Structure 1
C-alpha cells in the first residue's frame, strides 16, 4: 500500500516540569491565570505529526510519502527521514518561513501544556495532491494535523481523485470550524481520535456518536493506558489493551506511532485486532523514549513484545510481514 502522509513537519522543544500542573492551579483565580514553570530539562527533537507517522511507517518498510511544508532549515531533517525510509519528494520548501516549532511542557503525571508555531506549515495549502498522485500513484491519503485550509483541500482532492483517505484531525480540532470538521471527516475510510478528541469532534461537528459512524468506515479511538477501541456501524466494538508496565519517559508522539503500526498492518491486509496490537506495541516504543523519532524498530524485540502481551497468533501474523520467524 502506497500511503501519503499529509500534515505537520516540525522541530519539537520538549521540557520536563518535576511537579504537577494541577497543584499550581487555583480554581478561584483561573480567569487571571499567569504562570511560569521552572523546568529541569530541554530536549530539541525532530517531530511534527506527519513526519512522526511517516518515520514509523518507513521503519516498518512501507516507503511512505511525506507531504507537508517546511522552511529552508529542513535539509538536515530531510536527510534523517530519507535514511529511515521516507520519500520526501513531495515536501514543499518555503523560503520565507522557518519549519514549524512545537513547544511542549510535560509534568510528572505526563500531562502536557503545548504551543505550536505554524511557520512554513501555513503554506501547506499550496501542495497539489494531483501532482503528487501523478508522480507516484497513491492508495491512501492520511490527512493529519496541518494548516486547516490544507487539511480541507487535501481531503477534497482525495475524494476527487477517488483515493481512500484517513482523517486524523486531533490537535487541530481546536482550530477547525464545524464545517471544516465535517468536511475532513465525511467519507473517511479511517477516523483517528483519542478519547477527548472524540468528544470534541462531536461537539464541533454537531453530530452524535452514531452520526459520526454513519459517515466513516472505521473509527479508531486511542484510550491511553487502556489501549484502543475500534468502532464500525452494525458491528461490535473491537478493544485491544495497551502494552502494560512501560516506563513513561515522554508521551510526545505516542499516538503517531500507533497510527504507523496500525496503518502498516492494515496495508499488509491483517485483521483490525492485529493492526491495533502492532499500533500499541509501537506506542510503547515511543513512550519509553524522549522524542517522537528517538526509538528504533527492531523486529525481534517488537515481536517479543507482541507475543508476550497479545499471544502467539498475533506474533505469527506479524512475523510473516516483518520478515522474521515467530
Structure 2
C-alpha cells in the first residue's frame, strides 16, 4: 500500500548568515523593516515538504505517493525522485507556471527566515490518486487553504487516516480554518512556535485540541518532542549529536519516520523514537534530501539508541 503525501516539491536556495537575526531587529522600527543580510554561503538543493517527507519515508521502507503539482522547470526534479525509486505518477505538471521555490536564510543560532513562491502548487487540488490506489495513511502539509481542504476531503471520503502538518500555514490560516482542519484529521503535527500561533488564533488549550484528535505532536527542535495521545502526554528527547547540525528539513525527516511507524502499526513510543531518529540522521546533512541510509542501518541505529530490535519491513 502507498502513503499519500500532499504538499510542496520545491527547489531550495539555502543562505547562511553568520550573525543573529535578533541583533538586527529594532523594537521601535518593526513597521519599517528594510534589512540586508550578507550571506557568504549559498547552496541550492531539492526540497519541499512533500518530497522531503517522501525521501525519509522511502528510506525507512515505506512507499510514498506524492500528490501535488510542479511547473515547467521540473524535469530534473522528477528525474531525481525517480532515481530514488519514489513514484512520480501522482505529480501533475502545470505548463504555464514554475515549480515552487523556497529561499531560506539561517543565522548562526539556527533561526530561519523563509520566502516561498508557490508557483504551480496553486493548482495542486487538481492532483489526486487514481480511484484504484490503495492507501494506508496520509499527510497533508502546507499549501493553499483550498488545496489542503480538497485533499483532506478526498481522504475523508476514502476513510484514510490523516496527519495534518500545520507548518507554515500557521502564518495565513484564520482561527476558523484551523478549527475546520482539527475537525477533519486524525493527527496534528506542529512546532512549538506554530503551537503558540494556534493557541492565539483559536483560543484552544492543549487539552481541548488533544480531545479532538488521535494524537497531537509538538516538536521542539533539538529539545525533542511532546506527544499527547489517549489522554496522556509523553516527552521524547532529541538524540545527542556530535559535530555541526543543519536544521533545514529535519522536521520533514521526523514526519517521514512518524508515518512509517504508523503504517507498520507500531505503538506510539516506537513510532516517536523512529521519528526522532530520522530527524537526527537528517540533522547531520546540510541538504534536506542529501542523506542516504538503508533500512538495515536505521534498524541498527534504532537498537543502539533505544535498546530495542525493530523490523522495518512490511
TM-score range, shorter chain: over 0.9
Which residue of structure 2 lines up, in the alignment, with residue 230 of structure 1? 227
Structure 2-normalised TM-score? Answer: 0.94
CA-based RMSD: 1.7
C-alpha distance in structure 1 between counterparts of 2:107 and 2:125, whole Å: 35
Which residue of structure 2 lines up, in the alignment, with residue 321 of structure 1? 312
Secondary structure of residue in 1 paired with 2:259 = helix
C-alpha distance in structure 1 between counterparts of 2:189 and 2:246, whole Å: 21
1:203 deviates by 2.5
1:19–1:107 CA contact under 8 A, matched in 2 = yes
User: CA offsets per residue over residues 15-56 of structure 1, 9 Å max, x none?
Assistant: 001111122222232222211011111110001101110111
User: CA offsets per residue over residues 155-176 of structure 1, 9 Å max, x none?
Assistant: 1221122221111121111112
Structure ranking higher on relative contact order (CA contacts 8 Å, 6+ apart): 2
> Does structure 1 residue 280 correspond to structure 2 residue 276?
yes
1:142 deviates by 1.0
* Equivalent residues in 2 for 1:182-221, closer than 5 Å: 182-221=179-218
Which residue of structure 2 lines up, in the alignment, with residue 69 of structure 1? 69
C-alpha distance in structure 1 between counterparts of 2:76 and 2:132, whole Å: 24
2:16–2:42 CA contact under 8 A, matched in 1 = yes
C-alpha distance in structure 2 between counterparts of 1:159 and 1:222, whole Å: 26
Change in CA separation of 1:248 and 1:197 when aligned onto 2, cut-off 3 Å? farther
Which residue of structure 2 lines up, in the alignment, with residue 55 of structure 1? 55
* Higher mean C-alpha deviation, range 251-260 or range 274-283: 274-283
1:168–1:192 CA contact under 8 A, matched in 2 = yes
2:216–2:229 CA contact under 8 A, matched in 1 = yes
1:155–1:183 CA contact under 8 A, matched in 2 = no
Segments of structure 1 that go 5 or more residues without pairing to the other structure are none
Secondary structure of residue in 2 paired with 1:73 = coil
Which residue of structure 1 lines up, in the alignment, with residue 115 of structure 2? 115
Corresponding pairs, count:
314
1:140 deviates by 1.8
Which residue of structure 2 lines up, in the alignment, with residue 91 of structure 1? 91
Which residue of structure 1 lines up, in the alignment, with residue 167 of structure 2? 170
1:307 deviates by 3.1
> For 1:302, which of 286, 298, 309 is the aligned residue?
298
1:141 deviates by 2.1
1:269 deviates by 1.8
1:246 deviates by 4.1
C-alpha distance in structure 2 between counterparts of 1:281 and 1:246, whole Å: 14
Which residue of structure 2 lines up, in the alignment, with residue 290 of structure 1? 286
Change in CA separation of 1:250 and 1:107 when aligned onto 2, cut-off 3 Å? same
1:246–1:284 CA contact under 8 A, matched in 2 = no
Which residue of structure 2 lines up, in the alignment, with residue 25 of structure 1? 25
Which residue of structure 2 lines up, in the alignment, with residue 242 of structure 1? 238
